[in-house]
Amino acid sequence: MNVKIIVRGKAKGTVLCAENPVNFLGGIDKTTGRIRDEHHDLFDKFVGDKILVFPKGIGSSVGAYTIYSLKYNKCAPLAMVCLNADITTASGCAISNIPLVVAQKKDYESLKDGQEITVDAIEGKIL
């Protein structure tokens, strides 16, 4: 599928799909990558070394630093796929060199938990 490139790069890995938007600051433990918001559908799951597929980032602007901390603490997603890229997620990925793409709705919905994919944010494709 063709995707819009927000932050360039390339990564291959397993999809972790979130139904709910992600508030990086309150919602993810920056030292372990564990989702700690108990109201979130990915509660208690780890985002590290996954391709994180989620609708958009929400909440605190400091969430951008959480993304950077995840990378620094080696528990960041390999790449992210969003339905709507927000400023917090885009800027956090840009500083942290995490590939970020936006997929169209029907393509986005076809991505399934556990699927192996390659996010090519240089050519603008998911394989």
Q: Which of 12, 14, 19, 36 binds other proteins (CB under 8 A)?
A: 36
Interatomic CA distance for residues 7 and 106, integer angstroms = 21
The two structure tokens encoding residue 61: 């602007």
Which CB, 31 or 118, lies closer to other proteins?
31
Q: Which of 102, 117, 119, 126 binds other proteins (CB under 8 A)?
A: 102
Interatomic CA distance for residues 125 and 122, integer angstroms = 8
CB of 46 to other proteins, least distance (A): 17
Give yes or no for residue 57 binding other proteins (CB under 8 A). yes
Is residue 60 flagged as an active site residue? Answer: yes
Q: How many residues sit in the footprint of other proteins (CB under 8 A)?
A: 43
Give yes or no for residue 22 binding other proteins (CB under 8 A). no
Which CB, 39 or 106, lies closer to other proteins?
39
31's CB contacts (< 8 A; 6+ apart) are 69, 73, 75
